[in-house]
A and B are shown apart, each in its own frame.
Chain A
Amino acid sequence: MHLAYPAVLSALLFCTGLYGVLARRNAILVLMSVELMLNAVNLNLVAFDVWLSRTAEETLHSGQALTLFTIAIAAAEIGIGLAIVLAVHRNRGTADIDKLRDTSERHDPDDPDHDARTAGQSDEAQKAEATA
């Protein structure tokens, strides 16, 4: 099989996920797009592992081992991400990431108490997202 087939499919899937992450507004749809990007990387890893295990006689199967690790880390990421989304939805009543603007530069003058009340929650969410 030509190596360009899985590589091109993987690139297209990654860019589809990139579009979803940038364009979607619901946080759970953003998580779905992140899953698409991770799956594109997995396809690349598997294809290159199958290629290198013959041509370079690479016997470690590092691509497939890394694919398994990526799948497990993606499962952990989706659990943590959904927990964060549910916590944000419970505290603020929305899962719309365009409305989570507490740490932005522009200050909203209409509800100052709303900012002060939920700043800790969004700080926590962003910190946890950075680590996840």
Chain B
Amino acid sequence: MTLAISAALLATGPAPGAAAGTHGFLSPTGVEIAFLLVGLVTFGAALVTVTTRQLVHAALWLVVTLGGLAVEYLLLTAEFIAWVQVLIYVGSVVVLLLFGLMLTRAPIGRSPDADSGNRWAALTVAVAAAAALVWVVVDAFRTTWIDLDGPAAGSTEATGASLFQNWVLPFEALSVLLLAALVGAIVLSRKAKADSSSPPMNAQALTESSHAVTESSGSSEQEGAR
């Protein structure tokens, strides 16, 4: 708190936007410079991800963005979150996205219709939201400092202790949710071949779930229309 008060005393003039690019009112520490550089790389990769016309390149730039965020977590002394980020996002989510791109027969080269027609409206909304959010955040936390010294706040020991002492019930509920999502993904992506060949299978599928019913009836109707 004394650091925050001294920072408030040193901050003679309010400099909105100063914390984003130039560091106005205190000399930045090494961690801040590293955070800023990695943040610039992350933000640039995110911009390329949402603007490139080559779909596979978008997924690969997403890897750069997520890896940069993992480095930011390390700089914020949250090491467990950083490795979970590397494992789950870079390791599995991007691979899933690449599989999805291949299975939907995405074009390899540049595709002219990657962006929708309402691009300028989207740009207006995004820039307005960014300006409002950055202004509010910089104005609110102008004199707030994170104390990164001492033992790491996000070490694996601290995270594990708090997770299994205070957050056990949400943790277990989350495992049930993951199981439900797994079963749901299998049910959604399964091909209903047996239903079209033998019509009584539809009556059996009625008892399974609503997802399976609509999917099987839709696909059988589609194959009947062919």
Q: Which residue of B lies closest to A122 (CB)?
A: B218
1/0 per residue, CB under 8 A from B, across A67-96: the answer is: 111011111111110111111011100011
The number of inter-chain residue pairs (CB within 8 angstroms) is 304
Given the complex of chains A and B, what is the CA–CA distance between A61 and B111 in angstroms?
45
Count of B residues near A, CB < 8 Å? 107
Q: Is the CB of A50 within 8 A of B122?
A: no
Q: Which of B58, B97, B101, B130 contacts A78 (CB 8 A)?
A: B97
Given A4-B19, A15-B130, A124-B211, A23 and B154 contact (CB-CB distance below 8 Å): no
Given A86-B103, A117-B221, A3 and B145 contact (CB-CB distance below 8 Å): yes
Q: Which residue of A lies closest to B180 (CB)?
A: A76
Given the complex of chains A and B, what is the CA–CA distance between A96 and B106 in angstroms?
11
Task: Give the one of B1, B118, B126, B159 with max A CB within 10 A.
Answer: B126
Q: Is the CB of B19 within 8 A of A2?
A: yes
Q: Is B125 an interface residue (CB 8 A)?
A: yes
A23 shortest CB reach to chain B, Å: 4
Q: Which of B42, B77, B103, B217 contacts A89 (CB 8 A)?
A: B103
B90 shortest CB reach to chain A, Å: 11
Q: What residues on B are CB-neighbors of A8 within 8 Å?
A: 19-20, 134, 137-138
